[in-house]
């Protein structure tokens, strides 16, 4: 019934072909090198072909494969330009669309989940989907009270497909590593698996979206559509018009890029503080730039529309105060205090001995955007950070291998890094420090004792 390949064996065969293709290209590359072609040229060619096959396959399969593709797509800024350039368009497509479910499947799903008279709930319903992603697709409609709405319908069998895909991808995760330098994909895939049940539960998503909609109602900077109706595997929310962030990335003006970047950073930090929830799926397909009746300005009137609350991190006290404290101490150059805090929080295991000065040297380049009044996020900057951490010859690589990421910080880390990836795709100039001073506990004063005793 679903447009997801119906047989698990079909999905498994497609995914299993990926490592076989990688291995075949590697062997071909060895032959070319023996034949005299430069190693660097061969490596670049192999990486490009591997990436093209990977993202093509992930996009076709949806499910967990599509979910991983979307998660990886925000990191394309870290790749060398000669590799990233040829398939950047494919990554953008992953962020916004996937092959749709057949119309008959959509109608059958709505009948099963909303009842035989489901059409009476709508004045209009467009059969052609407006968007499609990893576990469901969205249809534009008019609710029976006249409101324009988005109807998200979950793919039948999406849960099984998610788990199966991520299990299969986990088996050859090491082969995917070179596609995103400096990032360990194994915990990313594990974390995606852990979130499957939450993302499939539209009741949880409705609660998270409603909480954000209430908190940001009337906000001058951020808009979250209200939830209109929700049921088993169907979610109806108010429709949100705007410029998809992927379009801003592709050909938006610098004013649009800067405003979108500032608002994205503001939402990242303020959302957790204001709602106790962290929106944990920050790929461009989930954001809109709302320019209203003034697309040519002034930019300060433009707002950020936020969609898809299927994955959230529950942070009742907002971001942990230890994060802000560690960042402030790092910027102040207090190496010993930073080292002690990281050890207390489990980033440095008891049996590991590290030089506090080396830890500071490792962290400072990463938090450079918070050191200055405003920072321009670029692909070159992110690429340099990724290369520094991924190069086995660099001190940063050696130190990173000795650090530990505690489970409580895993999702926060992924969301932060993903958001930085999007900011670099935008090429936005952002006053990041302003947002951190306003919203990150511990960044401006030492609130650590308050946070741990509350």
Active-site annotation holder among 281, 296, 355, 391: 281
Q: What residues does 125 pair with on adjacent strands? A: 141
Residue with tokens 């950070």: 385
Return the residue matching tokens 């520094």: 388
Q: Is 160 a catalytic residue?
A: no
Helix segments in 35-80, DSSP class H: 39-61, 63-73
Which pairs with CB-CB distance under 8 Å and at least 24 residues apart come from 113-116? 113/153, 113/231, 113/232, 113/233, 113/234, 114/231, 114/234
Buried (b) or exposed (e) across 52-69, using 16+ Cβ within 10 A?
A: ebbbebbbebbbbbbbbb
Half-sphere exposure of 374 (CA within 13 A, CB side): 10
Q: CA–CA separation, 378 vs 87, rounded Å?
A: 18
Question: How far apart, in Å, are the Cα atoms of 137 and each of 3, 77, 122, 314, 328?
Answer: 11, 27, 17, 25, 42
Given the DSSP bridges, would you call strands 303-306 and 222-223 parallel, antiparallel or unpaired?
parallel
Return the number of other C-beta atoms located less than 10 Å from residue 349's C-beta: 12
Task: Determine the Cα–Cα distance for residues 248 and 252; give it in Å rounded to an integer.
Answer: 4
Residue 440 near residue 269, CB atoms below 8 Å:
yes
Q: Which residues are catalytic?
A: 281
């Amino acid at each position: 019934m679903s447009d997801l390949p119906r047989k698990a064996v079909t999905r498994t065969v497609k995914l299993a072909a990926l490592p076989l293709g990688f291995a075949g290209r590697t062997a071909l590359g060895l032959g070319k090198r023996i034949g005299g072609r430069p190693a660097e040229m061969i490596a670049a060619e192999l990486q490009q072909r591997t990436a093209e096959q990977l993202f093509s396959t992930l996009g076709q399969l949806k499910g967990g494969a599509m979910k991983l593709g979307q998660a990886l797509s925000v990191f394309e800024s870290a790749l060398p330009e000669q590799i990233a350039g040829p398939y950047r368009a494919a990554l953008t497509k992953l962020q916004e669309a996937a092959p749709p479910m057949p119309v008959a499947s959509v109608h059958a799903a709505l009948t099963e989940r909303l009842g035989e008279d489901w059409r009476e709930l709508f004045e209009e319903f467009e059969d052609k989907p407006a968007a499609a992603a990893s576990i469901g697709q969205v249809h534009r409609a008019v609710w029976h009270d006249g409101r324009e709405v988005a109807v998200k319908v979950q793919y039948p069998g999406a849960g099984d497909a998610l788990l199966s895909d991520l299990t299969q991808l986990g088996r050859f995760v090491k082969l995917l590593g070179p596609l995103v330098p400096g990032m360990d994909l194994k915990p990313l895939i594990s974390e995606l698996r852990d979130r499957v049940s939450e993302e499939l539960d539209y009741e949880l998503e409705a609660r998270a979206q409603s909480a954000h909609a209430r908190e940001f109602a009337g906000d001058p900077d951020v808009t979250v559509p209200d939830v209109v109706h929700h049921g088993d595997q169907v979610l109806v929310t108010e429709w949100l018009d705007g410029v998809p962030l992927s379009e801003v990335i592709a050909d938006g003006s610098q004013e649009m890029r800067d405003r979108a970047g500032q608002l994205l950073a503001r939402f990242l930090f303020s959302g957790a503080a204001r709602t106790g929830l962290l929106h944990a799926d920050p790929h461009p397909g989930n954001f809109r730039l709302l320019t209203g009746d003034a697309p040519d300005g002034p930019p300060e009137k433009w707002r950020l529309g936020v969609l898809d609350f299927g994955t959230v991190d529950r942070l009742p006290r907002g971001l942990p105060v230890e994060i802000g404290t560690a960042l402030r101490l790092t910027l102040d150059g207090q190496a010993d205090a930073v080292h002690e805090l990281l050890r207390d929080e489990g980033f440095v295991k008891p049996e590991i001995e590290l030089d506090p000065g080396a830890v500071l040297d490792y962290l400072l380049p990463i938090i450079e955007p918070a050191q200055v009044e405003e920072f321009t996020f670029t692909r070159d900057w992110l690429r340099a950070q990724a290369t520094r951490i991924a190069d086995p010859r660099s001190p940063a690589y050696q130190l990173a291998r000795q650090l530990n990421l505690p489970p409580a910080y895993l999702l926060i880390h992924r969301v932060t890094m993903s958001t930085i990836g999007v900011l670099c795709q935008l090429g936005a100039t952002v006053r990041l420090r302003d947002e951190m001073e306003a919203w990150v506990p511990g960044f401006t004063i030492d609130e650590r004792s308050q946070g741990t005793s509350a």
